[in-house]
Amino acid sequence: MSKVDVDVKTARAVGGQLLDWYEQVKRDLPWRRTRDPYKIWVSEVMLQQTRVETVIPYWNRFVELFPTIEALADAPEPNVLKAWEGLGYYSRVRNLQKGAKVVRDKFGGRVPDTPDEISTLPGVGPYTAGAILSIAYDVDVPAVDGNVFRVLSRIFLIEEDIMKPKTRRTFEGLAEFLIPPGRAASFNQGLMELGATVCIPKNPRCHSCPVKEHCRALEEGVQEELPVKEKKKPPRPVDMTAALLRDGDRVLIRRRPDKGLLAGMWEFPGGERVEGLSLEDSLALHLREAFGVTVEPGRLFVQVQHTFSHLQWDMRVFECAITEGLVRESDDVRWVPVGELETYTFPVAHGKVVKELGGLV
């Protein structure tokens, strides 16, 4: 099994002890009260890059607004993005809605129950496919996420880089071998639960681990050194600038392009600092190119930061006055009363500006 040798006796022991522990201590999470594959799918997509505590209210609201595959598939995208606002990584929900449309049109509204078919859905990779198939349909397939990488690397002392595709296949094969027949739903969730609550990244609670007697990393005293993972490059710092343009009680916002970072969301107009120019001059250039107007940046209204996986925005928002020209409204450019901004979907950084404006109303 690619450098990981596990005998059947050990596999059965680990599986049995993990199942017993999970049934005793599992958290009461709303998506664990259903076997609806659609609602489980929603939870798994939300839980990518997001903590459980944050996801719970979002999941409850999302499945209330879009209770079925058909409801999500038929919903206007702005409504779906608004329901997702604050969770970030918006490509997740766009793919979720695309997937819902495929399920509606190609699979008669029923989420596929085979690995080959479910893997054709947009945004559904090996982990998400495994989670849905095992939890909703009791298919004996693995679901290997970051928690599972950590747990298995420690139990079986796997010192290979988990970022490499070959290593990922090793973990998937190992996880599948460990599944007690017919118990994939509880086993997979048990592994995730163990990683989330006991076998945590720093200061793991080894004394509470149900399988500590089998943990080779604990035996060697190297549990905190695993899993082995190549360090990512730090996010690139980017100076951003944006304009707060007023017309009475209205402010100017625009929609971002349909493709690329934060696609289709609304923002206060501006952009990256132009090399060789000050923030104010960069902002004036951006607005001249976007709207054909001349603006005079005034006082700094607010400074906000936001970190993406690859970028770190430092955004300064200036109050501006138009000294020449006129901004015309369109589907993608609007003058909006401050009190109505909450009905639009903004990226987190621009959402902070909206909150600052709200305090002035």
Question: Is 44 among the catalytic positions?
Answer: yes
Distances (CA, A) of 61 to 30, 82, 85, 90, 305: 11, 11, 12, 17, 28
Round to whole Å and give the CA distance between 188 and 208: 19
Query: Structure tokens of 73?
Result: 């598939």
Question: 131: buried, middle or exposed (CB in 10 Å: 19+, 13-18, 0-12)?
Answer: buried
298 in helix, strand or coil?
strand
Residue that the structure tokens 């979720």 belong to = 96
CB atoms within 10 A of CB 146: 17
Specify whether the CB–CB gap between 31 and 52 falls below 8 A: no
DSSP bridge pairs for 242 = 270, 317
Round to whole Å and give the CA distance between 338 and 357: 7
Q: Which helix (H) or strand (E) holds 26?
A: none
Single out the catalytic residue among 23, 44, 176, 193.
44
**Residue 90 phi, psi dihedral angles, 5° rounding:** -70, -15
Round to whole Å and give the CA distance between 270 and 256: 11
Q: Which helix (H) or strand (E) holds 54?
A: helix 52-65
**Residue 163 phi, psi dihedral angles, 5° rounding:** -80, -10
Specify whether the CB–CB gap between 264 and 255 falls below 8 A: yes
Round to whole Å and give the CA distance between 284 and 291: 10
Active site residues: 44
